[in-house]
A and B are shown apart, each in its own frame.
Chain A
Amino acid sequence: MTNTSHASAARRRQSTLVPNLIVIVLFAALLLFFIVPVIWLLLAPTKTANELIHDNPLSFGSLANLGAAWRHLITFQDHALLVWLRNSAVYSIGALVVTLATSIPAGYALALTKFRGRKTLLVITLVVMIMPTATLVLPIFLELNQFGLIGTIWSVILPFSFYPFGVYLVYIYFATTLPREILAAARIDGCSEWQLFTRIALPLAKPVAALVAFFSFVGNWNNFFLPYLVLPNSDQFPIQVGLNQLLSSTPSFNPVAGAGLNITSPELALAIIIAIVPVLVLFLFSQRALVSGMLAGATKG
């Protein structure tokens, strides 16, 4: 009895040994793949361009180097980096405000009121939401160009504010958490439609508003294509387009244009870190948001 059970346990152990080994190797390889570039990036600004080439790639340089890289970076084109960061903040937060102000009432109305065209609006919203944002960038550029809006901050903020995914998230949220009966009862008690929205729906909307804000901010902060097309001047660039300009000013990647400038690899690495800090901070707290957002459409089976 004990003998046979021992034998079968041994066999089982043997049969899972090889797959386990494969799994461990795969996970370790993926871990290195995902994390080593991040560690390298965090260490790079502490070294000089020369040390980056000759020292151990994953070694720490010195804080003095970090300070030097910061000074070079900040004086590039007379504090251009700070201007780009400010622009990114203005565009992303401006768009976020308009997105919340339009998508929360819209999602609420789609979920809990009845009007003609509601279903059509919902389907169009779904289709546009699934289409990649880049699909509409060139057509939006052509449109803005036709109306002479190129180069204004609204040519970035308004297209950024159009966020069908946010509307859909709010729609799903209200459709699943706010029973129609509550609204019906409040109507009978004499609440106006506006009061229903502000007194009942809005106070409930905090979690979904945070979700929409997260997705909208991250998407817009990282957006490159649209501002790249519609903003001609460097002092209007968001940080993403600014990074692209830094790249073409770095001698390692552009020996011709980069000559005589202080922007080398450590400065570029530092600029990348600064550019992603806001999104990184959000990411530290957002894994749950990602799951609930992406699975929002899940019809429980």
Chain B
Amino acid sequence: MTALNTGHEAVSSVTPVRRRATTRRRAGLAGYLFVSGYAILLLAFGIFPTVYAFFLALTNDRGQFTGLNQFIKVAQDYRFAPAFLNISLYLVMWLLSVVVLTVVVAIVLRSRMRPRLSAIFRFLYYLPGALAGVASVLVWLFMLDPAVSPVSWLLQSMGFADFAAVLSPGDLPVILVLIAFWTGAGGWIVVMYGALNNIPDEVLEAARTDGAGPWKTAWHIQIPMIRKWIAYMAILAFAGGTQLFVEPQMLQTASLGRVSPTWSPNQLAYVYAFQHGDFNGAAAISIFLLALGLICAALLVTRSDLFKVDES
């Protein structure tokens, strides 16, 4: 077999080498052509805006290089620290609730419920995801208005007499978590359920024959085996949470100005650009946010084996 093969190759080794070289060159050129459209979009709306934001953040409105002055200026703004504090508070509550609840729910759906029933639950939990964005905020404005809310008895028993009382600035993190959970958790439950489905049945059966009950199986087998997906969810939920804009912006409108218009860092950047006309300051804030997003992304790409970059 081997001898036969080498003999064959020895005979025809000249032409294939050259042909392989030309096809490789041809494929290389074709590769460039195939990615060109996407590469142009990537340059125009990924790379260039980032570079341009850096340029703006390092200069002043006359285009003079000012070093880190813009960063120092925005960081010393009296609204800067509160904005980051606000989203930190929100992020802690959001991450805890989304990670704990989606994992628990997905495990119960996977191992303790009839498949038909489990599918119905997953679908109903997932449905509000269709209302992501502006629609979800509007729905929750109604839900939190004791005058029209279906749970006004609950709001009133918690001491909220009217809409103004609910929308006090201190309640904003909780309200934002409710909205984010309502639109986002169902999708994550479906994804976690899918990850749990990837665990081979033999593994779970082996645990059962070894005497592990459902809770032990969940704690010692299922959760460790979907750990990387839990990390994936936590990092994406964190990165998305740092970027809050629509939700606090609309709650601000609805609160008739009692909630700060610079509640989140993105809103502060917006105010810099559109009310102060200070594009350099706005760029400096978005660099801070960009850095947060980049760190999360780099963490996921380099530290997890979730993303196949190359198999060869």
Q: Are B41 and A130 in contact (CB under 8 A)?
A: no
Number of interface residues of B (CB under 8 A): 110
Chain B residues, Cβ within 8 Å of A106: 34-35, 37-39
In the bound complex, do residue A268 and residue B293 qualify as a contact, i.e. CB atoms below 8 Å apart?
no
Whether B239 contacts A131 by the Cβ 8 Å rule is yes
Beyond A126-B301, A224-B134, 15 additional contacts (C-beta under 8 Å) are A27-B108, A30-B105, A37-B150, A38-B131, A40-B142, A105-B38, A110-B35, A113-B30, A118-B31, A131-B239, A135-B290, A138-B283, A142-B282, A162-B45, A229-B270
Interface of B: prevailing SS: helix
Q: Is A64 an interface residue (CB 8 A)?
A: no
A141 touches B139 (CB 8 A): no
Residues of A within 8 A of B141 (CB): 247, 253
- The closest CB in chain B to the CB of A146 belongs to B52
Contact between A53 and B148, CB atoms less than 8 A apart: yes
Q: Does any Cβ of B come within 8 Å of A36's Cβ? A: yes
Most chain B CB inside 10 Å of its own CB: which residue of A27, A40, A135, A243: A135
Q: How far is the CB of A60 from chain B (nearest CB, A)?
A: 14
Measured CB to CB, the closest approach of chain B to A281, in angstroms, equals 9
Q: In A245-290, which residues have CB < 8 Å from any B CB? A: 247-248, 252-254, 265, 268-269, 272, 275-276, 279-280, 282-283, 287, 290
Number of A-B pairs whose CB atoms are under 8 Å? 298
Q: Which of A187-224 contact B (CB under 8 A)?
A: 187, 193-194, 197, 218, 222-224
Measured between beta carbons, the chain B residues less than 8 angstroms from A53 are: 147-148
Asked whether, in the complex, the Cβ of A142 is within 8 Å of the Cβ of B31, the reply is: no
Please tell me if A101 contacts chain B, counting CB pairs below 8 Å. Answer: yes
Mark out the residues of chain B between 26 and 49 whose CB falls within 8 Å of any chain A CB in the assembled complex.
Answer: 26-35, 37-39, 41-42, 44-49
A119 and B191 within 8 A (CB): no
Closest to A273 in B: B135
Residue-by-residue, is B275-312 near A (CB-CB < 8 Å gives 1, otherwise 0)?
A: 00001001101100110011011101100011111110
A101 to B283, CA, bound (A): 32
Of the residues A33, A248, A276, contact of B130 by C-beta under 8 Å:
A276
Q: Pick the residue among A33, A140, A222 that contacts B49 (CB under 8 A).
A: A140
**What residues of chain B lie closer than 8 Å to A36, measured between beta carbons?**
150-151
As a 0/1 sequence over residues 23 to 46 of chain A, the CB contacts with chain B under 8 angstroms (1 = contact) are: 100110011011111101100100
Number of interface residues of A (CB under 8 A): 106
**Given the contacts A139-B49, A243-B135, A114 and B297 also touching, CB distance less than 8 Å:** no
- Do A109 and B121 touch across chains, with their CB atoms under 8 A apart? no
Can you list 11 A-B pairs, Cβ within 8 angstroms, ordered by A?
A: A26-B104, A44-B142, A44-B148, A58-B150, A98-B41, A103-B38, A119-B309, A222-B134, A252-B145, A253-B256, A280-B130
In the complex, whether A240 has a CB less than 8 A from a CB of chain B is yes
**A40 (CB) vs chain B CBs: closest residue:** B150
Interface pair B266/A254, CB less than 8 Å apart: no
Would you give the 0/1 interface string for A150-169, flagging 1 where the beta carbon is closer than 8 Å to chain B?
A: 00000000110110100110
CB neighbours of A158 from chain B (8 A): 41, 44-45
Q: A113-B31, A244-B253 are in contact. Are A142 and B44 (CB under 8 A)?
A: no
- C-alpha gap A35/B139 in the complex (Å): 12
Distance A220 CA – B252 CA, assembled complex (angstroms) = 24
A21 is an interface residue with CB less than 8 A from chain B: no
Q: Is the Cβ of A119 less than 8 Å from the Cβ of B310?
A: yes
**Chain A residues within an 8 Å CB radius of B250:** 244, 247
How many angstroms from the CA of A112 to the CA of B26 in the assembled complex? 13
A-B complex: 4 closest residue pairs judged by Cβ atoms: A193-B30, A109-B34, A139-B49, A115-B31
